[in-house]
Structure 1
Amino acid sequence: MIATSERPTDTPDLGSVLRELRRRRGLSQLDLAAAADVSARHLSFVENGRSRPGRELLLRLADRLAADAAQRDTLLVAAGHAPLRPGATGAVVDGIGGVLDTGAAPRDTGDTGSPAASAVEAGRRALLSAGSPAVDTVVVATAAPGRPGRPAAPEVADRLGLGDAAAFDLATVCGGFLYGLANAVGLVASGASERVLLIASDAGAPEPCPPWTTAARQWLAGAGAVVLRAGSADEPGALGTVVLGTDARRAAPSAERLYAASLRAMEAVGWTAGDIDRLAADRGEPEAVVALAGRLNVSAERRLGPAGGSAGLASSLARAAQDGTLAAGHRVLLTAYEGDRTWAAAALRWPRLRG
């Protein structure tokens, strides 16, 4: 056990960090104590500095608080323990590519069990942008139906020449790109992967979030991809906390849930609404995007899109990066919701990409 007086002066106060994480999750001391199988009295002692928790208990608390890798290591260091991975490791956007289906983009014909050609093309462009064809994991976020035992990701990886890279599908609807980002961030932060190719492709999927405009259908039928690499958590392109949520009973309006998730994503990187340079909001209903932008004080010229479906958000980012609408240094808020039941948000400072 390390006494308070022995803690370096630049190390965060454990009690303050723990209380802030608990507050963000909306948990009382009693709630967290019960979830972490510790007495409320002991947790109170930890928060007020009268007791220092062991490494095992602290990791258990971090798990119950859904702390990301950087937050977990902050807790460990504040308590006098070594971080799990020295230095904060972040998942950094390293390349991007997209295909918008305007009738000329490559598409599959007939075989719904095979990966869409647009997914392969988007992945190829993202790898080219990253300047390296090497990745160790491929994730395909898609709402397109496939045949049992025939996920799209292994075939996409094979067609991209990625050898024995790990590959799996993420079956989602409109929020698939952000749910895929959350998975990719976890793979990088845990050390399971050094480089991840995330592709969002809904070609061949039914329209999941009506009503759809003609423009939104083009985004839905296209594909978008990003390459994420391990890097510093504070460098441009590093993703902050990806906030995810579901509400199958629709107990609260999705717009309210999405707004709250956006605030949490901004808070995780120290932003306020006035800091947003670009808003990329995924949903086929423009009214929802307008409402969210209004509450966040984001003018129309700072919104990216239109975007529809998982593929739409990813390809919208790729197109904006290509035409200069999205530039290095821009503070970008990504949001998505689907069917009034699933929502997601994340924030990052856009990096300088190769192409």
Structure 2
Amino acid sequence: MAAVLMGLGGYLPPKVVSNEDLSATLDTTDEWISTRTGIRQRHTVIDGLATGDLAVEAGAKALKSAGHSVIDAVVVATTSPDRLCPAVAPEVAERLGLGTVAAFDLTSACSGFVYGLATAAGLIASEAADTVLFIGAEAFTTLVNPADRTTSPIFGDGAGAVVLRRGEPEEPGALGPFDLGSDGSRADLLAIPAGGSRQRSANGGPGHDAVPTEDWYLRMMGRPLYQQAVERMTRSADTALKKAGWTVDDVDWFVGHQANVRIVRAVAEELAMPEERTAVNIDRVGNTLAASIPLLLNDLAADGALRPGARVLLSAFGAGLSWGSTVLEWPDLSVESVH
């Protein structure tokens, strides 16, 4: 049996922050940001809006797209949960009226969507669930230092969701072979030092007063991270293609995690993927971590660029370090625009 895509939805919070807006408070310019990242604007949460709220909105749209309300499990991929404890997924399930179904979170940063697809496929393969609502949702701008011009312009908030059902491997929408990997020896390349048990147990016990303010925000080592992203995504995507028996010529759309347009273009070049078949929407939404790939798929489908029967290659890379890729043939879905 296979996990088959039957619904897709996305949501972006209403506040839009342009590069010009950031330039008013940061030592930066629209040209500096856009030439280095490809980003021109991003959506951000305000007034108490949190990851769970975004997840509910995207989940509702995915359920509507699927025309299906019977869900056996809810999985939320996020690195910016509403609280450290408990998981946000059970509350999302309750707010969507799904009852007391199995519900849990997973954390794999920007690789969260691909890891989550594999997890949902595993639930279906093990017969723990016939249908799974899987959501990638992030309010990650709350974890980025607004005074840091190297990280603040990069990230945006949003959520993307899919409904998966039990089906046959030959069906349109069936998720293909997965390639997943990680390298914990490079965890510090992208990390938030404070907030976890390591920081809380330091110096004899809990204590927030001694923690430098910047430790509560994301730290990123850009150059080595870029190199790792290009190398790992390229190898992972190539492995997934080989497992599926596809070549690059068989791929209609390469949908890579939108971390930086230079990374996406570099991976496409390494794969010999033509630019016209390489999807990009980072200019409008920024890096939305686990929500990145489903939001991009939603854009492509809503615009009519992603048609039934198209062969799609998905690949992501993120903190951990972690990476993953998979393939699928696009099914016939009804999708609403998020813009």
Do the two structures share a fold, i.e. TM-score over 0.5? yes
> Which residue of structure 1 lines up, in the alignment, with residue 196 of structure 2?
none
Asked if 1:263 corresponds to 2:238, the answer is yes
Asked if 1:230 corresponds to 2:205, the answer is no
SS in 2 for 1:304: coil
Equivalent residue in structure 2 for 1:157, among 84, 87, 93: 93
Q: Matched residues in 2 for 1:153 and 1:261: separation?
A: 28
Q: Matched residues in 2 for 1:125 and 1:111: separation?
A: 18
Counterparts of 1:141-180 in structure 2 under 5 Å?
141-180=77-116
Counterparts of 1:126-205 in structure 2 under 5 Å?
126-204=62-140, 205=142
Q: Matched residues in 1 for 2:131 and 2:121: separation?
A: 10
Q: Matched residues in 2 for 1:290 and 1:182: separation?
A: 25
Q: CA RMSD in A?
A: 2.5
Give CA-to-partner distance per residue, 1:222-266, whole Å, 9 cap, x none.
110000000001111101122110012249944222211111111
Asked if 1:312 corresponds to 2:292, the answer is yes
Q: Matched residues in 2 for 1:162 and 1:108: separation?
A: 27
Query: Structure 1 residues 167, 287: CA separation in 2 closer, same or farther (over 3 Å shift)?
Result: same
> Which residue of structure 2 lines up, in the alignment, with residue 336 of structure 1?
316
Q: Do the aligned residues in 2 keep the contact of 1:213 with 1:284 (CA within 8 Å)?
A: no
Q: Matched residues in 2 for 1:116 and 1:312: separation?
A: 16
> Which residue of structure 2 lines up, in the alignment, with residue 45 of structure 1?
none
Query: Structure 1 residues 187, 262: CA separation in 2 closer, same or farther (over 3 Å shift)?
Result: same
> Which residue of structure 2 lines up, in the alignment, with residue 118 of structure 1?
54
Q: Do the aligned residues in 1 keep the contact of 2:44 with 2:157 (CA within 8 Å)?
A: no
Give the count of matched residue pairs. Answer: 261
Offset, 1:106: 9.6
Q: Matched residues in 1 for 2:257 and 2:151: separation?
A: 12
Asked if 1:286 corresponds to 2:261, the answer is yes
Offset, 1:283: 3.6
> Which residue of structure 2 lines up, in the alignment, with residue 91 of structure 1?
3
Q: Do the aligned residues in 2 keep the contact of 1:107 with 1:117 (CA within 8 Å)?
A: no
Look up the equivalent residue of 1:110 and give its one-letter code. G
> Which residue of structure 2 lines up, in the alignment, with residue 84 of structure 1?
none
SS in 2 for 1:122: helix
Look up the equivalent residue of 2:137 and give its one-letter code. S
Query: Structure 1 residues 326, 211: CA separation in 2 closer, same or farther (over 3 Å shift)?
Result: farther
Q: Matched residues in 2 for 1:106 and 1:136: separation?
A: 31
Q: Do the aligned residues in 2 keep the contact of 1:283 with 1:337 (CA within 8 Å)?
A: no
Q: Matched residues in 2 for 1:92 and 1:346: separation?
A: 13
Asked if 1:276 corresponds to 2:251, the answer is yes
Q: Do the aligned residues in 1 keep the contact of 2:183 with 2:321 (CA within 8 Å)?
A: yes
Offset, 1:274: 1.3
Q: Matched residues in 2 for 1:168 and 1:108: separation?
A: 25
Look up the equivalent residue of 2:233 and give its one-letter code. L
Q: Matched residues in 2 for 1:305 and 1:292: separation?
A: 13
Quote the sequence identity (%).
41
Larger deviation, residues 145-154 vs 271-280:
145-154
Q: Which runs of 5+ in 2 are unaligned?
A: 17-42, 187-223
Offset, 1:102: 4.9
TM-score (norm 2): 0.71
TM-score (norm 1): 0.68
Look up the equivalent residue of 1:173 and give its one-letter code. A
Q: Do the aligned residues in 2 keep the contact of 1:142 with 1:170 (CA within 8 Å)?
A: yes
Q: Do the aligned residues in 2 keep the contact of 1:138 with 1:166 (CA within 8 Å)?
A: yes
SS in 1 for 2:105: strand
Query: Structure 1 residues 182, 290: CA separation in 2 closer, same or farther (over 3 Å shift)?
Result: same
SS in 1 for 2:100: coil
Larger deviation, residues 255-264 vs 342-351:
255-264
Offset, 1:107: 4.7
- If you compute each CA radius of gyration, which structure gives the higher value, 1 or 2? 1
Offset, 1:172: 2.3
Equivalent residue in structure 2 for 1:109, among 35, 47, 56: 47
Query: Structure 1 residues 315, 120: CA separation in 2 closer, same or farther (over 3 Å shift)?
Result: same
Offset, 1:148: 4.2
Q: Matched residues in 1 for 2:175 and 2:125: separation?
A: 11
Q: Do the aligned residues in 2 keep the contact of 1:211 with 1:284 (CA within 8 Å)?
A: no
> Which residue of structure 2 lines up, in the alignment, with residue 74 of structure 1?
none
SS in 2 for 1:223: strand
